[in-house]
A and B are shown apart, each in its own frame.
Chain A
Amino acid sequence: MPYLGGEETVRELKRALSNPNVQSEPLRYRNTVLRVVRAMSQGVNVSGLFSEMVKACATVDVVQKKLVYMFLCSYASLNPELSLLVINTLRKDCQDPNPMVRSLALRNMSNLRLPSLVEYVEQPLTAGLRDRAACVRRVAVLGWAKLYNLQSGSDIDAAVVNELYSLLRDPDPVVMVNCLRALDEILKEEGGVVINKPITHHLLNRMKECDVWGQCEVLRVLQRYRPQSDDELFDILSLLDASLVSPHPPVMAATLSLFLSLCADLPAVSLAALERVSGPLLAACGSGSREMRFTALCHIQLLMRSVPGLMGPHFKRFFCGYAEPAYIKQRKMQIMVELVNDENVSMLLDELKGYCTDVNTDTAQAAIQAIGHIGRSYSDRCLEILTGLLGLKQDHITSAVVQTLRDLVWVCPQCSDTVCSALEGCEETLQDSQGRQALLWLLGVYGDGVSSAPYTLEAFIDGVRSEVSLGVKMELLTATMRLFLTRPAETQDMLGRLLHYCIEEETDMCVRDLGLLYYHLLKCGVEETRNVLQGRRSDPSLGVLIGRPAEPISQWACSFNTLEPLKKGGTVTQTASRGSPEHEASKPKTAVELPETLDCSHIHTDPPDSASTGQRSDSAAELPAASLTLSLSPTLSPEEFERRWLQRCSLRSEEAAEESNDFLQTEDRIYCSAVLQRSPQTLQAAMQLVNIQTLAFTPPSTLPWRVFFYTHTAGTPASTLILGELLYAGEADPTPKDEEEEERKADGEAAAEELTGREDRQVEVKVTLKQQPKDEEAVRAFLSVLSTVLHTLSSERHDEHAATHV
């Protein structure tokens, strides 16, 4: 930082420092030194005073010593030769009877950070390790760490390392903790301090003596220890139990971290630990310091990835205070969205609605997005709030609402009518390009439902010359094209004008190319254009996966209690993207708590309850593939799933599929009650139990109701991949199916089941399976597993129905 008059100051200070009159008066001398240090911290380059300052350290005044040492440490690297002069004074101070002086000298000696001086520092440091005063030993221990840090890669002196290990038994707890820190630094290359059983037990016993910082250090280091037996493990865990609920958030977090690493193979214990810390973590969320509150919130989000319901009963604790900073409010909202359930949804929505008018526009927009996210499961209530917000006529609110509506309607197309009626008049309040882009997209796709759509587009087209946003121009072009297909009469003229402008006048190449592309497309005929623009898109319901699946703890345990969780933007508001709606689907996570493969045969031999399923499983047991083994790995990403699924669709249309050797597609029907009302989580958990990975759901009680899933069958002759879809399109036809399908049912028992099914309010769920490579027996076995799962689910709720149904 430039400092005016710096040179003048330095000259004047130099004069004063070398003035014998000043030197003879201790107080004046010290004040001059003080002025040097003050100038230094103000950014003046006072390195020219080095030699004068070296002289000034030969004093009995401790305060002056401290100031001079600090100066010397800051500039030592610029004056390595002169620094040698200081070493003498420092070494003399190391012999001082006053331990404070000794520790001061030792600390600064190791702070000089000059490789050339290492040889002079080693001897006092060695002596320091054996000093009577604990404060000297503390400094000496860390001094060794500094020394090795300075010359990393140099040989490690085994004697020092041994001495440091033995100092772990030092009566002073800070010396002990510093030893851990120093050894960690010195043995960095070898993986840090070695923690064996005696050391572990020693550290655990002495942890109570340490302050918060020391406890955290001990807990961190102990993560390296692997107990030799379960008994030992549980002894350690019970010793740690008290600090798990420590009122000091850092200690609590460090203990949990240790718990998770010790119990990596014991998911049940880890989960119990998470439950146990939820109290202290919530307390930390109410801490006086907002940074601590923020940290606690971020860590709660981490925990909720594995235990989504952890904070369920405490949802009110995440309500925002008026004066809280935006970063806290946004995290709290992300958590609130995750906690929504039938009981609290109206309260949470009321609360979020209040934040939509927050003075901080980002908070307001985040609140609107959060409501949109909840809208995927509770669309009616959320749409009411969102459309109500449009009435405020605030540009940032309207923009966020329109974007949220666009994202919502993409995954819940059934909302489109409400959205369309809300759109009228929005264009007047929209200012930013993101919001206008969203509006244009909606008008393009749902323009037939918005009576004023062509007029709105026309206004945009009239102003296209002054439009600066590239995104808006591109979106305008696409939207006009789409609207032309649904409302040609009103749009044709303006489309012509827009295309003319884009091709002839527009300077941006992207817009021009897009214009040309559409122009040539139109020349191919309207039908062709329609095929392209309104062609089949990926099924939006594929994307709706309500509530993320519980992740195994190991997914995040390593980032717990670091900076990591603070940096990641949360999961909810960020995914509600601001660009064009993108295909969203959670990545399926293989649950490590479950065995990778599961022998399903026990499911057949152990029928849930009813005789019918029993009968079915008996027949299944007769099949040769009864010992079918399913497995979740390798995982299939949603994108990959979709690609394969659609690829198979096209194949079928060419009627090649049935014949193809390596591919099998079958359809079947399973009758079950109540499955539709089960929450997706339950269904998913049940499917996972038999190693079927569900990828996507429609929200419960929407029609058509769909589930997509996949699994791998392992076994002879080769393992196969099965992709599947469960579909319930509405009330089953009383006389369903053509004969072909009847025939395809191998055992024919389904017909009987169907009869009973009809009496029993059962619904007919269509199963479509695609298998590759073809293995009919595996498919049949798989079908029986699948129907067992579905029946189990139904019977859980409707035991009595299940009974009669048999």
Chain B
Amino acid sequence: MSASAIFVLDLKGKVLICRNYKGDVDMAEIDHFIPLLMQQEEEGMICPVITRGTVHFMWIKHSNLYLVATTNKNSNASLVYSFLYKLVEVFTEYFKELEEESIQDNFVVVYELLDELMDFGFPQTTDSKILQEYITQEGTKLEVAKTKVPTTVTNAVSWRSEGIKYKKNEVFIDVIESINVLVNANGSVMSSDIVGSIKLKTMLSGMPELRLGLNDRVLFSLTGRDKGKTVMMEDVKFHQCVRLSRFDSDRTISFIPPDGESELMSYRINTHVKPLIWIESVIEKFSHSRVEIMVKAKGQFKKQSVANNVEIRVPVPSDADSPKFKTSTGSAKYVPEKDLVLWTIKSFPGGKEFLMRAHFGLPSVEKDELEGKPPITVKFEIPYFTVSGIQVRYMKIIEKSGYQALPWVRYITQSGDYQLRTNA
């Protein structure tokens, strides 16, 4: 891949921090980046790779920062972007929020991290769990020569250090599924899929061996068992702690977990999901006078379940005024800066149907430019339920000291990219 240098810029293009890894691209080249980007923006042809002469800038934007990698080689694009996103991930784990202020405030740590993450343009140690072992924010407090050598840098189990102790041994497992849905204006589901993630919060002493059992269809057909519902997972991605060879041979998920919070695995399920919250909308626009909006929301999930914090965002014309609302439940609010109505329902039981009506005035002088047709988007969270039906069947915890540990499992289904197009 080989990136020549990495830059973190603010939105105006000022270099906040940079690291020259190879020295084969003039560091002053970065001054051309923002002007080129602006030019592309004006022409409407923004592209994640910008080329000037022999120098390529590959950039991503995160909150109020640009992260830019420069190279003069015909690099591997996906690897460079992965690295930039890795930077974001590592910085975020260190500073909670990655933004201009946190870069400024944590100057030293950022430099130290850049030093460890890459050498001579090649990624080195990029696991934030390992990095946190020896680059700490406490470093800013004075500490005379850290004599402790992080075991993890050389350890066989690089993601967990030895000698961790907890009074109470527990592990919390969160199974979180997000559903992505795109529904056409005529009500047909254009695409839908489920992105699932299993997260761990491990509070276990020593070097425990964990084994996770899921109702994985491949596993069940492998062992010839057929008990109840199984789930076909695609694109399964594991944390590096999971022994892939064992998963490949007999679908066992066995691992020594990293301490604290981590994402054990993620998966995608490409099935036709019934949209859990179904929206029917009628948006009638009477030019020069008003807009009438009627939105019907229906919970298409089990009666026992409840969707929490449901937010339905209905777009309205940007020149609309004097809003009036009527809802059968929850509350509706006009958000003029985003040109939408936000209908919030704190708790939405399955099988129920709610209605919202909105009325807006329109100015008598119509404006010329065309507006896009933003879709209705929905946000929600349904606890104690996974849309795919995936279940943790067991979690075995074995440690040589023989302590008893408790696994806790929690299921949540939430909205991902959930869009319903409107006819207006």
A-B contact pairs, 26 of them (CB 8 A): A34-B108, A37-B107, A41-B18, A62-B146, A66-B108, A70-B115, A74-B20, A142-B119, A145-B120, A208-B245, A213-B126, A216-B1, A248-B237, A250-B79, A283-B234, A286-B268, A289-B60, A291-B84, A295-B78, A322-B372, A326-B45, A327-B45, A327-B46, A327-B47, A354-B373, A357-B372
Name the A residues within 8 Å of B85 (CB-CB). 289, 292
A134 adjacent to chain B (CB < 8 Å): yes
B157 interfacial by beta-carbon distance below 8 Å: no
Task: Encode B345-367 as 1/0 by CB contact (under 8 A) with A.
Answer: 00000000000000000000000
For residue B154, CB closer than 8 A to chain A, the reply is yes
Which residues of B come within 8 Å of A, CB atoms? 1, 14-18, 20, 22-24, 31, 43-49, 51, 56, 58, 60, 74-79, 81-85, 107-108, 111-112, 115, 119-120, 122-127, 134, 139-140, 142, 144-147, 149-150, 153-154, 180, 182, 190-191, 193, 234-237, 240, 244-245, 248, 266, 268, 370-375, 417, 419, 421
- Minimum CB distance partner of B144 in chain A: A60
Q: Is the CB of A250 within 8 A of B23?
A: no
Distance in angstroms from B176 CB to nearest chain A CB is 14
Q: A66-B111, A172-B154, A291-B81 are in contact. Are A358 and B372 (CB under 8 A)?
A: yes
Please determine whether B15 and A41 come into contact, CB atoms closer than 8 angstroms.
Answer: yes
B31 partner residues in chain A, CB cutoff 8 A: 1
Interface residues of A (CB under 8 A from B): 1, 26-27, 30, 34, 37-38, 41, 43, 60-63, 66-67, 70, 74, 98-101, 107, 113, 133-135, 138-139, 142, 145-146, 149, 172, 174, 177-178, 181, 208, 211-213, 216-217, 220, 242, 247-250, 253-254, 279-280, 283-284, 286, 289-292, 294-296, 298, 316-317, 319, 321-322, 325-327, 354, 357-363, 392, 394, 397, 561-564, 566-567
Contact among B24, B83, B115, B149 for A107, CB-based, below 8 A? B115
Q: A98-B145, A98-B146, A98-B149 are in contact. Are A295 and B107 (CB under 8 A)?
A: no
Most chain B beta-carbon contacts within 10 A, residue among A149, A254, A286: A286
Pick from A67, A217, A279, A322 the residue with the most CB of B within 10 Å: A322
Q: Give CA–CA (A242, B244) in the complex, Å.
A: 10
With A250-B82, A562-B74 as contacts: A133 and B154 at CB distance below 8 Å: yes
A66-B112, A208-B244, A213-B1 in contact; A34/B146 too (CB < 8 A)? no
Q: Which 4 A-B pairs have the closest CB atoms?
A: A362-B44, A247-B237, A359-B372, A213-B123
Evaluate contact between A212 and B115: CB separation under 8 angstroms.
Answer: no
Are the CB atoms of A392 and B111 closer together than 8 Å? Answer: no
Residues in chain A near residue B1, CB distance under 8 A: 213, 216-217
Do A321 and B153 form a contact, CB below 8 Å, given A70-B111, A242-B248, A561-B76?
no
Chain B's nearest CB lies how many Å from the CB of A675?
37
Chain B residues, CB < 8 A from A325:
46
- A410–B119 Cα distance when bound, in Å, is 56
Given contacts A67-B111, A361-B44, 20 further A-B contacts (CB under 8 A): A37-B111, A41-B18, A60-B144, A62-B146, A66-B111, A70-B111, A98-B149, A100-B134, A135-B153, A145-B120, A181-B122, A217-B1, A242-B248, A283-B234, A286-B193, A292-B81, A292-B85, A321-B417, A358-B372, A562-B75
Contact B120 A181 (CB under 8 A): yes
Minimum distance in angstroms from A19 CB to a CB of chain B:
18
- Smallest Cβ-Cβ distance to A173: which chain B residue: B158
**Is there contact, CB below 8 Å, between B120 and A292?**
no
Q: Which residues of B contact A321 (CB under 8 A)?
A: 182, 417, 419
Across the two chains, which residue of chain A brings its CB closest to B236? A247
Question: Contact between B112 and A178 (Cβ–Cβ < 8 Å)?
Answer: no
* Most chain A beta-carbon contacts within 10 A, residue among B49, B51, B371: B49
- Let me know if B108 and A63 touch, CB within 8 A: yes
Which residues does chain B contribute within 8 Å of A295, judged by CB atoms?
48, 77-78, 81
Chain A residues within an 8 Å CB radius of B372: 322, 357-359
Q: In the assembled complex, which residues on chain A have CB atoms less than 8 Å from the CB atom of B235? A: 247, 279-280, 283
Contact A289 B81, CB 8 Å, known A66-B115, A100-B146 = yes
A-side contacts of B153, CB under 8 Å = 99-100, 133-135
Q: Name the CB-closest residue of A to B119.
A: A142
Q: Is the CB of B149 within 8 A of A291?
A: no
Most buried by A among B58, B119, B266: B119
* Chain A: minimal CB distance from B294 (Å): 21
User: A101 to B146, alpha carbons, bound, how many Å?
Assistant: 9
| A67-B111, A283-B268 as given contacts; A292 in contact with B245, CB under 8 Å | no
Q: A319 touches which one: B123, B150, B190 (CB < 8 A)?
A: B190
- Asked if A63 and B248 sit within 8 Å, CB to CB, the answer is no
Q: How far is the CA of A212 from the CA of B1 in the complex (A)?
A: 12
Q: How far, in whole Å, are A359 and B44 apart by their CA atoms in the complex? A: 11
Nearest-neighbour CB distance to chain B for A321, whole angstroms, equals 7
CB atoms of A292 and B417 under 8 A apart: no
Chain B residues contacting A566 (CB-CB under 8 Å) are: 47-49, 77
Q: What's the Cα separation between A392 and B56 when bound, in Å?
A: 41
CA distance A206 to B83 in the complex (A): 22
Closest-CB distance, A802 to chain B (whole angstroms): 42
Given A135-B154, A567-B51, are A279 and B145 neighbors across the interface (CB < 8 Å)? no
Using A41-B15, A98-B145 as known contacts, say yes or no to A319 and B182 having CB atoms under 8 A apart.
yes
Nearest-neighbor residue (CB-CB) of B83 within chain A: A213
Chain B residue contacts of A327, Cβ below 8 A = 45-48
Q: Contact: B60 with A149, CB < 8 Å?
A: no
Given A317-B191, A566-B47, does the pair A250, B78 have CB atoms closer than 8 Å?
yes
Determine if A142 and B120 form an interchain contact, defined as CB atoms under 8 angstroms apart.
yes
A74 to B17, CA, bound (A): 13
B375 touching A322 by the CB < 8 A rule?
yes
B190 x A38 contact (CB < 8 A)? no
A249 engages B17 (CB within 8 Å) = no
Q: How far is the CA of A565 from the CA of B60 in the complex (A)?
A: 18
**Which A residues lie within 8 Å of B84 (CB)?**
291
How near does chain B come to A6, taking the closest CB pair, in angstroms? 15
Chain A min CB distance to B90 (Å): 13
A280 to B78, CA, bound (A): 14
**Shortest Cβ distance from A319 into B: residue:** B190
Chain A residue with minimal CB distance to B240? A211
Knowing A60-B145, A354-B373, A357-B373, the reply to whether A316 touches B190 (Cβ < 8 A) is yes
Q: Which residues of A contact B124 (CB under 8 A)?
A: 138, 174, 178
For A149, the chain B residues whose CB sits under 8 A away are: 22, 24
Contact yes or no, B142 A67, CB < 8 A: no
Q: Across the interface, which residues of B come within 8 angstroms of A289, CB to CB?
A: 60, 81, 85
Residues of A within 8 A of B16 (CB): 41
Specify which chain B residues have a CB less than 8 angstroms from the CB of A317 in the assembled complex: 191
- Best-buried of B126, B237, B372 by chain A (most CB within 10 Å): B372
- Distance from B185 Cβ to chain A, minimum over Cβ atoms (Å): 8
What CA separation (Å) do A212 and B123 show in the bound complex? 10
The closest CB in chain B to the CB of A145 belongs to B120
A213 to B118, CA, bound (A): 11
Chain B contacts for A101, CB-based, 8 A: 145
Instruction: Give complex CA distance A424, B44 in Å.
Output: 30
A157 CB, nearest partner CB in chain B, Å:
18
Docked Cα-Cα span, A43 to B12, in Å, equals 15
Which residues does chain B contribute within 8 Å of A291, judged by CB atoms? 48, 58, 60, 81, 84
Complex contacts, A178 vs chain B, CB 8 Å: 119, 122, 124
B82 pairs with A212, CB closer than 8 A: yes
Contact A563/B74 with A1-B14, A61-B145, A354-B373 known, Cβ cut-off 8 Å: yes
